A = this chain, B = another copy of it.
Amino acid sequence: MKRQPTPDHLLLDQQLCFALYAASRSVTGLYRPLLEPLGLTYPQYLVMLVLWEQDGLTVRELGQRLQLDSGTLTPLLKRLQTAGLVSRQRRKEDEREVDIRLTDAGLALRDKASGIPECLAQCMQLSLDQMQTLRDELKRLTRQIQLPPSED
């Protein structure tokens, strides 16, 4: 009774998903030593990127931009608040919403972060063109996936 070999399509090295998962974690790992001096984790850095771009968003708006829900963002934002980088305030117009704003320290941190993208680009050994192409392919993939699998 010989055991059937695994069919090709179940081989780990065939999986796009694993290539994505591994690449994402590897890149995040590259950020770690660069963000550590700023006192930020990678997801916290993403939140800061959004706020540096547009300050004063609600938790919901941040979540839409990063595709994260309040279960992830609420504790993360509390840590950023404890670190003195953002403030959290209920909105006057609608008390259900919480306004996230950069503090002076949070805004100032942008300067210390401004060298990071270039540093990363070097670490990844890709040309600017290669990076843009790959990035846009991944965006397209994410966009197409956005439509749910088969919710009838």
Contacts and interface: CB of A to CB of B under 8 A. Distances in A.
Contact of A15 (B18, B29, B65, B135): B135
Interface string A23-46: 111111111010000000010001
A105 interface: no
Contacts of A110: 6, 10
26 contacts: A10-B49, A10-B110, A14-B117, A16-B131, A16-B134, A17-B27, A17-B31, A17-B120, A18-B66, A19-B136, A20-B20, A21-B24, A21-B27, A21-B42, A22-B66, A22-B67, A22-B138, A22-B139, A26-B142, A26-B145, A30-B149, A33-B149, A124-B141, A124-B145, A125-B144, A134-B137
Contacts of A117: 9-10, 14-15
Contacts of A11: 49, 53
Size category, A interface? 35 or more
Chain copies in complex: 2
A123 to B, nearest CB: 5
A16 B120 CA distance: 10
Given A20-B27, A22-B139, A124-B141, 5 more contacts: A3-B107, A7-B114, A12-B65, A17-B28, A20-B23
